[in-house]
Structure 1
Amino acid sequence: MRQQVLVLYLTTSALDSAVVGWARYDGTGQASPTTGDSDEPPYPTGLAALLDGWRLFQAAQLIPPYPGHEYDTSYLKHEFFFEKLIPRT
């Protein structure tokens, strides 16, 4: 088996919230290792990725903002990692 990984950054911690950033990694050798040159996300939500057969294997830990920093901008914090296992050919 070979692994494909999909990283989705969502607007909130809910899997049915909108995708705002993404990255794909293909370990099958069928495409370049990093794929995804599109301006459109591969799925509108994390739930849509689950419905298409991607398996969720990690979600970002929810950490409340430090008092006084509630409106600071930083990294995308609602990060979800999905995988698909593809049989070797």
Structure 2
Amino acid sequence: MRQQVLVLYLATSALDSEVVGWSRYDGTGSTKPTTGDDDEPPYGSGVAALEDGWRLFQASQLIPPQSGHEYDTSFLKHEFFFEKLHEVS
């Protein structure tokens, strides 16, 4: 079994919100390079990825901003990790 990993950054913490960033990693060896560099997101939302058979295995912890830092620019905080397992012959 080989693993494919999809990381989606969503607009909010809800899985049905819009995808604003993404990365793909293909451990099956069937694509080169192993990371995705598409101009368009592979899915419109996290729910769409689930509907296509991706399994959600991690979501980022929701941490409220410190008082006075509500509008600071930082990392994309609504990060979700998905996986698909593939048999490789």
Structure-2 residue corresponding to 1:69:
69
Cα separation, 1, equivalents of 2:40 and 2:12: 19
Structure-2 residue corresponding to 1:15:
15
TM-score, length basis structure 2: 0.96
Alignment partner of 2:73: what SS? coil
Structure-1 residue corresponding to 2:55:
55
Percent of matched pairs sharing the same residue:
79
Unaligned 5+ runs, structure 2: none
Unaligned 5+ runs, structure 1: none
Cα separation, 1, equivalents of 2:83 and 2:66: 32
Cα separation, 2, equivalents of 1:35 and 1:68: 37
Q: How many residues align?
A: 89
Q: Which amino acid aligns with 2:46?
A: G
TM-score, length basis structure 1: 0.96
Q: Which amino acid aligns with 1:43?
A: Y
Cα separation, 1, equivalents of 2:2 and 2:33: 12
Deviation sequence 1:4-37 (CA, Å, 0-9, x none): 0000000000000000000000000111253322
Q: Which amino acid aligns with 1:17?
A: S
What is the CA RMSD across the aligned residues, in angstroms? 0.9
